[in-house]
Amino acid sequence: MDKPSLYAAERDCLWHPFTQMREWMAGEPIIVERACGATLVDLEGREYLDGTGALWCNLHGHHVAEIDAAIRAQLDKVAHSTLLGLGSAAAARFAGELVAAAPAGLRRCFYSDSGSTAVEVALKIAFQFWQQEAGGQHRGRTRFLCLTHAYHGDTLGSVSVGGIELFHKIFAPLLFDAFHAPSPYCYRCPLAREPATCAMACFDELARLARAHREEIAAVIVEPLMQGAAGMISQPPGYLRRVRELCDELDLLLICDEVATGFGRTGTLFACDQEGVVPDLMCLAKGITGGTLPLAATLATERIFAAFLGDYAELRTFFHGHTYTGNALACAAASASLEVLRRAGGTLAGVAERAAHLGRNLEELACDPHVGEVRSRGLMVGVEVVADKATREPYPWRQRRGWQVCQAAIARGVYLRPLGDVIALMPPLTITAAEIDRLTGTLAAALAATLG
C-alpha cells in the first residue's frame, strides 16, 4: 500500500483507543513505519524519541536481535496451537522461567493476552476460590477492596475495581460494586493530611474498611509502589508491606497488579520485591514480551490452585480461557525478553544508573514554576503540571494543559502522552544518558513554550 493509501486507511478505517476521533481525523497523523532502539520513524522519515516505551511495554528498545530471532525460530516450529486439551513447549518453558523469577510462592501461571484480561482472571479466580476453599465456608466473600484513582484495565471486571471517573463513569450501570479506600496521593491527600505529620492515614482507612467487611471481601487489589494511569501516584515506603500484613491478619487475598510496574520498570524485577511482598495473585502484561507481542499472565499460589482441583463432576474447574492463551510466538518472545532483562550486564543491570541520571535531571525540572511535583520509581515517572505551584491549584481540565505540553514535545521530536495534567515518562529501560538528556530537555522546552 502506498503512502496516500495508508493515510486514507488511517483516516477512514481505524478507530484509535482513548482518542476523540473527530479531532484526530482533522489533524495530520503521525504514522510509525519502523523503529530501532528508543527511536520511532514515521512514514515521512521523521524521527521521534519514544518517551512512552510503546505505552509502557517496551523494555529493551525496539528491534532487539535476540527477541526477533526467538520469534523467527518459533515461527519455524509452530505459531499457535491451543492450551485447551494440548500442551505447548513454548508456553510450558516460559511458565517455568516466570515462576522461578517471581516472588517465592507464586507457582502457577495462567495465560491471557492483556493487562485487563490478567486482572479479569485474577478477580474471577479470587471469587471462585472462596466458593470452593475449605468447603465454601466463606462463600460470602464476593466483593473487592480497591483504591480510588485505580486503573486496572478496560474490561468490565477490571473497570469495576477502577476509580478513574473520566474513563469509567459512563459504564457505571454495567459494573459490580467494590469498596474503595483512598489512594496514597500525598501531593493531593484525600484526607487533607501533610506527609511530614501523617502516619499513613490512607492505610488506616483501608484497614478500617477491610476489618469492617472482612466476610464480604474476596481480595484487596493494588498496583504496588506506583499507581500508573492515576497519574503516577507513588506510595509511601512501607505501604505495600502493611497491606500484605493486613491481608494476612484477616485472611484476605492480595492481588498485585504489576502490569505497569513489572519487569524492571521500578528498578527491581517486580515492584513487590522492594518490600518483600508475595501476593496471592499477581497480574503481568505490558513488558512481559519486551514490547513485541501481546501476552499476559496471572500468577497464583499453590493454595489457590489447590482449591480448583477435584473430580470433573464437582465443577471446581476454572471455566475461563482465551483462544490465544499461551500463544507460542508470544511465549518465545517472553522467554527471550526475560533472558535479555536478567542476564549479567543485561537490561535490568543498567536501570539503577539510568534512573539516577534521570533523577538528577528531574531535580532541575521540578524547579519549573509550572511543575507541582515530580514522582518517580526507577524509570517510571510522572511530572504534574499546575496552574499555581504555591497553592497546588490545578488547571481546569478542559484546558488540556498536559496534552498541549505533549504536543509541543512531539513537535520537537519526542513522543510523550499525558495522564490528564501529569506528563508520563516511561522510556525503554535501555535509554542512553544522551537520550535521557534529550527527553528531559525537550520536556522543559515544551513546558516553557506551552505554559510560559
2-39 pLDDT, tens digit each? 999 999 999 999 999 999 999 999 999 999 999 999 99
Query: Sign (positive/negative) of CA torsion 388, 392, 395, 396?
Result: negative
Read off the C-alpha cell for 159: 473497570
pLDDT value, residue 190? 85
pLDDT value, residue 204? 96
How many Å apart are CA 438 and CA 423, to the nearest integer?
15
226 within 8 A of 271, measured Cβ to Cβ: yes
Kindly list the domain boundaries of the chain, sorted by start residue.
Answer: 31-59+348-451, 68-342
Read off the C-alpha cell for 256: 498485585
Position 196 pLDDT exceeds 80: no
Q: Nearest Cα to 202, choosing from 186, 217, 213?
A: 186
The Cα-based distances of 305 to 4, 6, 52, 130, 322 in angstroms read 53, 48, 36, 12, 19
The Cα-based distances of 428 to 17, 119, 159, 394, 446 in angstroms read 22, 24, 27, 29, 21
In degrees to the nearest 10, what's the CA dihedral of 49, 50, 51, 57? -160
Kindly state the percentage of the chain with pLDDT values over 90: 95
How many Å apart are CA 419 and CA 383, to the nearest integer?
10
pLDDT value, residue 198? 85
Q: Are strands 281-284 and 296-301 parallel, antiparallel or unpaired?
A: antiparallel
Q: Within a 10 A sphere around the Cβ of 202, how many other Cβ atoms?
A: 23
pLDDT value, residue 197? 81
Q: Nearest Cα to 240, choosing from 266, 213, 214, 264?
A: 266
- Under CATH, to which class is 68-342 assigned? alpha beta
pTM: 0.97
Domain 31-59+348-451 adopts which CATH fold? Answer: Aspartate Aminotransferase, domain 1 (3.90.1150)
Backbone dihedral angles phi then psi of residue 419, each to the nearest 5 degrees: -115, 85
pLDDT value, residue 368? 96
Q: Identity (one letter) of the amino acid at 172?
A: A
